[in-house]
Amino acid sequence: MNKISAAITGIQGYVPDYILTNKELETMVETNDEWIVSRTGIKERRILKGENKGSSDLGAEAIKLLLKKTKTDAKDIDLIICATATPDMLFPSTACLIAEKVGISNICAFDIGAACSGFLYALTIASQFLETGKHKKVIVVGADKMSSIVDYTSRETCVLFGDGAGAVLMEPNHEGLGIKDTILRTDGSGSKYLRQPAGGSLKPASHETIDAKEHFIFQDGQPVFKAAVKSMADVSEEIMKKNNLTADDIAFLVPHQANKRIIDATSRRMGVGDEKVMLNIEKYGNTTSATIPLCLWEWEQKLNKGDNLILAAFGGGFTWGSIYLKWAYDSKK
């Protein structure tokens, strides 16, 4: 029997209905459509409205649709990994809450936190569970209700983020398809530039932390931008070189959607043309753990069995990484 590799065998996204446009943001903070589009590429983003709804609701919707689409029985799933920076609560894990919402119990389910690189971290972890042969049907879901930690009086951050989720089914593959290589990195010295300062054990919630708006995202944009441009491009080039891939070999770059300028810098360094870059930041903004699966979901029909994809992300931590995978099925109907 050939070595087992871990392949994505189904993909599904879910975004809430409410569309927050740049025009509406102009009524909330001192900003304008021209600035937002030229500096970030974002035109609108989705927001999860309503009481008592968290990231688990986004993730659960994506998984319910995924199970239906792939005709998978919920009871056959043996592992759920949820990547999120906006868990419903610090504990229990959002993966546990999602499992309950989709009618799955008695399996291994846990969250991983790597901010915007979370989906790449979760895919890498999932691939190792599959490669041992112990797990057969694994779901990786990236789900983030970013609107829950965005300060809608801060123009520096409120224009950037949106809510969404994306889930993949992963199964063992014996044809050498699926995840071929992964590179994951961290640099904790970047933590001062991008963080949610309070609400954890370091600074539990208090009147002071609320008054200081420390439960919202803090981002010092420029150092994050500089590090993101360099790191995402470096790691994408590195994984290409390591696997003897040229730009011609690559069907698509699937980049984290934080800023179109960061994506452009990465694709330029890889030598990959715009037609090979998955880009939907204009519709959804930065949905953190959900950006990469939302892209795969929207491009699914263009993907063919054997296509070489490079996934790349950068985010809070700092964390960053890239994954080289061979798409495992023909998606065209």
Q: What are phi and psi of 6, to 5 degrees?
A: -105, 120
* Positions that interact with ligand UT7 (CB under 6 A): 31, 35-36, 39-40, 116, 155-156, 159, 221-222, 224-225, 228, 258-259, 262, 286, 314-315
Structure tokens at 195: 């963080």
| Cβ nearer to ligand UT7, comparing 156 with 264 | 156
Of 256, 259, 280, 295, the active-site residue reads 256
Distance in Å, CB of 223 to ligand UT7, minimum: 9
Annotated catalytic residue 116: yes
Distance in Å, CB of 116 to ligand UT7, minimum: 4
Sheet bearing 252-255, strands edge to edge? 178-186, 319-326, 308-315, 252-255
| Cβ nearer to ligand UT7, comparing 92 with 197 | 197
Of 116, 158, 173, 295, the active-site residue reads 116
| Cβ nearer to ligand UT7, comparing 25 with 328 | 25
Cα 289 from chain centroid (whole Å): 3
| Cβ nearer to ligand UT7, comparing 140 with 160 | 160
Rounded CA-CA distance 290/126 in Å is 16
Annotated catalytic residue 256: yes
Going along 53-173, which residue ranges are E strands? 79-83, 108-112, 138-145, 163-173
Rounded CA-CA distance 332/301 in Å is 5
Strand 79-83 relative to strand 138-145, pairing:
parallel
Of 135, 158, 286, 295, the active-site residue reads 286
Distance in Å, CB of 83 to ligand UT7, minimum: 13
Distance in Å, CB of 139 to ligand UT7, minimum: 23
Confirm if 16 and 44 have CB atoms less than 8 A apart. no
Q: Per DSSP, what are the bridge partners of residue 13?
A: 166
Q: What DSSP string runs through 250-308?
A: -SEEEE--S-HHHHHHHHHHHT--GGGB---HHHH-B-GGGHHHHHHHHHGGG--TT-E
| Cβ nearer to ligand UT7, comparing 12 with 117 | 117
Annotated catalytic residue 286: yes
**According to the 3-state scheme, what is the secondary structure of 183-196?**
EEEECHHHHHCEEC
Distance in Å, CB of 293 to ligand UT7, minimum: 15
- Which single residue brings its beta carbon nearest to ligand UT7? 221
Catalytic residue positions, numbered: 116, 256, 286
